[in-house]
């Protein structure tokens, strides 16, 4: 594995955006999940970079990008990625999204379908209500104070050490504890904690995930789609991925036995291999602006509105 995945800085609409780029060839965009960043894609990105141009952005409020007071919705994140790709001169790409990034990827497709060649959803949000109790709890009022305590560096370090010992004893829960510790580290900055809560509450409430793409998955029919899930995922159920696979015509579905909710960190070789096979064995899809209405029409029959009685 050779190459570098160095960060670059760009000013978009007056806000600092950090992104990483590596390799050459057809473009592949990697979208990280909540409290992750572009840096967490490095192991996968460098494996793909031999044959593809790989781009990963720190979403606004994440990593080293700015944490402004503003819009942290899926649509805002999708528009930011569109703007970055436009600045880089990239018209169309394969879009890969993990967890929250899967929801952003689907929203990107819904807003800019003509820019998507393939879609890959990795342990994706937005495909069902169920989500881990920890995330539901973080969406509750008053969570900011608890989040401040949990983000203490000593707490994160302690969780990581316990996770190490559990993994040494062969316990799969050690991976989960390490994932929590890893997620807490970026939240040590006050701006990042606020951005996290704004982002979280835009998609999750006390009942679970509040944003769903299930009613629009059929639109991905013309686009080669791969769904990948960690077999040991306790954050978002693998059943969500299986349902999406059934709903998206001609899609592929893969599980990674060694991974939980973070396949790009827990099994980067396995995820990269699945991605590479998908990229090499599918042709890019294409949806023109004029195709969009025809895709929707069979699912949206028109009916005459009856005039009120005189």
Highest mean pLDDT, choosing among 154-168, 186-200, 266-280: 266-280
For residue 270, tell me if it sits in a domain: yes
151 or 261, which is more confident? 261
Block residue for tokens 């990105």 = 45
Residue 146 lies in a domain: no
Are 97 and 125 spatial neighbours (Cβ–Cβ below 8 Å)? no
Mean pLDDT confidence for 300-304: 69
User: Three-state DSSP class for 225?
Assistant: strand
Per-residue pLDDT, averaged over 60-73, amounts to 86
- pLDDT for residue 1: 41
- Number of domains present in the structure of the chain: 1
Could you tell me if residue 26 is inside a domain? yes
Q: What average pLDDT does range 54-61 have in this prediction?
A: 95
pLDDT classification of 298: cutoffs 50, 70, 90: confident
H-type alpha helices, 89-172: 100-111, 133-138, 143-150, 153-168
**What pLDDT digit, counting tens, does each position of 86-117 carry?**
999 999 999 999 999 999 999 999 999 999 99
Residue 180 covered by a domain: no
Residue 16 lies in a domain: yes
Mean per-residue pLDDT over the chain, rounded: 85
pLDDT at 3: 67
pLDDT band, very low/low/confident/very high, at 64 (cuts 50, 70, 90): confident
Q: Which residue has the higher pLDDT, 36 or 144?
A: 36
Q: Is the pLDDT of residue 155 over 50?
A: yes
d(CA 62, CA 45): 18
| Distance from C-alpha of 271 to C-alpha of 43, rounded to nearest angstrom | 10
Catalytic residue list: 99, 233, 261
pLDDT at 2: 47
Q: Mean per-residue pLDDT for 10-35?
A: 94
pLDDT higher than threshold 60 for residue 60: yes
CATH number of residue 250's parent domain: 3.40.50.1820
What pLDDT, on the 0 to 100 scale, is given for residue 251? 98
- DSSP 8-state symbol, 13: T
Residue 1: alpha-carbon gap to chain centroid: 24
Residue in this structure with the two tokens 């920890």, named with its chain if needed: 134
Lowest average pLDDT, out of 42-46, 63-67, 148-152, 262-266, goes to 148-152
Asked if the structure places residue 143 within a domain, the reply is: no
Dist CA 87 CA 82 (whole Å):
9
179, part of any domain? no
State pLDDT tens for residues 195-252: 777 777 777 777 777 888 999 999 999 999 999 999 999 899 999 999 999 999 999 9
Task: For 194-219, give the secondary structure using H, E and C.
Answer: HHHHHHHHHHEECCEECCCCHHHHHH
The percent of residues above 70 in pLDDT, for the chain, comes to 78
Q: Is residue 175 part of a domain?
A: no
Residue 186 CA to residue 196 CA, distance in Å, equals 10
Confidence of residue 34 (pLDDT cuts 50, 70, 90): confident
The model's pTM is: 0.84
What is the extent of the structural domain holding 222? 7-130+209-299
Q: Is the pLDDT of residue 84 over 70?
A: yes
């Amino acid at each position: 594995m050779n190459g570098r995945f160095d960060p670059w800085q760009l000013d978009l609409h007056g806000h600092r955006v950090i992104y990483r780029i590596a390799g050459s060839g057809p473009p592949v965009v990697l979208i990280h999940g909540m409290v992750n960043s572009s840096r967490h894609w490095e192991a996968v990105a460098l494996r793909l970079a031999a044959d593809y141009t790989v781009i990963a952005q720190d979403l606004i409020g994440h990593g080293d990008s700015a944490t402004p007071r503003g819009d942290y919705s899926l649509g805002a994140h999708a528009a930011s990625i569109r703007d970055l790709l436009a600045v880089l001169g990239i018209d169309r790409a394969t879009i890969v999204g993990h967890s929250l990034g899967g929801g952003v990827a689907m929203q990107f497709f819904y807003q800019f379908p003509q820019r998507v060649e393939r879609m890959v959803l990795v342990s994706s949000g937005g495909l069902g209500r169920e989500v881990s109790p920890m995330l539901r709890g973080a969406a509750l009022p008053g969570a900011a104070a608890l989040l401040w305590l949990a983000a203490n560096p000593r707490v994160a370090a302690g969780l990581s050490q316990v996770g190490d010992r559990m993994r040494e004893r062969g316990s799969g829960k050690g991976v989960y504890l390490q994932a929590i510790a890893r997620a807490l580290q970026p939240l040590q900055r006050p701006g990042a904690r606020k951005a996290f809560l704004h982002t979280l509450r835009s998609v999750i409430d006390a009942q679970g995930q509040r944003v769903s793409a299930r009613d629009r998955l059929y639109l991905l029919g013309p686009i080669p789609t791969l769904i990948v899930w960690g077999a040991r995922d306790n954050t978002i159920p693998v059943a969500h991925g299986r349902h999406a696979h059934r709903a998206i015509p001609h899609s592929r579905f893969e599980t990674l036995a060694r991974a939980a909710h973070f396949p790009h960190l827990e099994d980067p070789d396995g995820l990269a291999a699945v991605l590479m096979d998908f990229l090499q064995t599918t042709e890019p899809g294409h949806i023109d602006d004029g195709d969009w209405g025809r895709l929707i029409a069979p699912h949206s029959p028109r009916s005459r509105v009856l005039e009120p009685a005189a």
